[in-house]
Amino acid sequence: MTERTDEVTGRGPFVVLEGVEGAGKSTQARMLGVWLESCGVPFTLTREPGGTEVGEAIRNVVQDRPELSVPPKTELLLFLAARTAFVREVAQPVLERGELLIADRFSLSTLAYQGYGRGLDLDEVRRMDGFASGGLVPDLYVLLDLPVEQGRARQKEAGKTGDRLESSGTTFLKEVGRGYRELAATDPSVRLVDADGTPDEVHKRIRAVLRREMPETFASCED
């Protein structure tokens, strides 16, 4: 019998921001935080693969060391190792208090980057992700939709140098972009938001999606 000690029960709403590099996730996460504070919704904002001490350590290995050669399955297992800690230490306590959790990336990233980008078998990635996340599934993925080239151009403009994954080449990133779109077409929990626009414009689009899709959670917030 499989023991599922990580299983999350009786839980608050869980929203995840996703997108390719340069789509503006971090900016949008910050803006969402300000909005939620203004309307008094208790929330926790986190990022994957960080958010826990071990997650930050894994992030250092998997992202910040472009010189390391990391086989695709090793990369997958590192992200999933961080996810297990994230679910147990961050997500579970917040959701069990019935509070809103907003995460910068979750399982959809793994499917897009390690599944499509690295070419690992999608069903296998899903299965292993289910094991790592204890079956925790977000209520809503907000996918910031931007062509890969445009995201890269934004990053260049902002003077950001690529980390190990970003340096993996245009073909890899294009596959990630294609993966996101394919996943969005088949997963009913994914909503695409056009990320082409000023931060304010994109923020308003996200607000509208959240109010429409999760009216109970965002009832006290203005459009």
In the complex with ligand TMP, the residue whose CB is nearer, 88 or 97, is 88
Compute the least distance from the CB of residue 194 to ligand TMP, in Å.
Answer: 19
Q: How far is the CB of 117 from ligand TMP (least distance, A)?
A: 7
43 versus 113: smaller Cβ distance to ligand TMP: 113
166 versus 175: smaller Cβ distance to ligand TMP:
166
Residue among 41, 47, 38 nearest 12 (CA): 41
CB-CB neighbours of 169 under 10 Å: 11
Nearest approach, Cβ of 115 to ligand TMP (angstroms)?
Answer: 9
* In contact, 200 and 32? CB cutoff 8 Å: no
**How far is the C-alpha of 25 from the C-alpha of 142, rounded, in Å?**
10
Which run of H or of E encompasses 46? Answer: strand 43-47
For ligand TMP, the closer of residues 78 and 217 by Cβ is 78
Closest CA to 165 of 54, 65, 85: 65
Q: For the CB of residue 176, give the shortest distance to ligand TMP in the complex, in Å.
A: 8
Min CB(165)–ligand TMP separation in Å: 4
Helix (H, G, I), strand (E, B) or coil at 104: strand
14 vs 113, beta carbon nearer ligand TMP: 113
Which residues of the shown chain bind ligand TMP in the complex (CB under 6 A)? 21, 48-49, 63, 79, 105, 109-110, 113-114, 165-166
137 secondary structure, DSSP code: -
Closest by alpha carbon to 97, among 45, 47, 44? 44
Residue nearest to ligand TMP (CB): 113
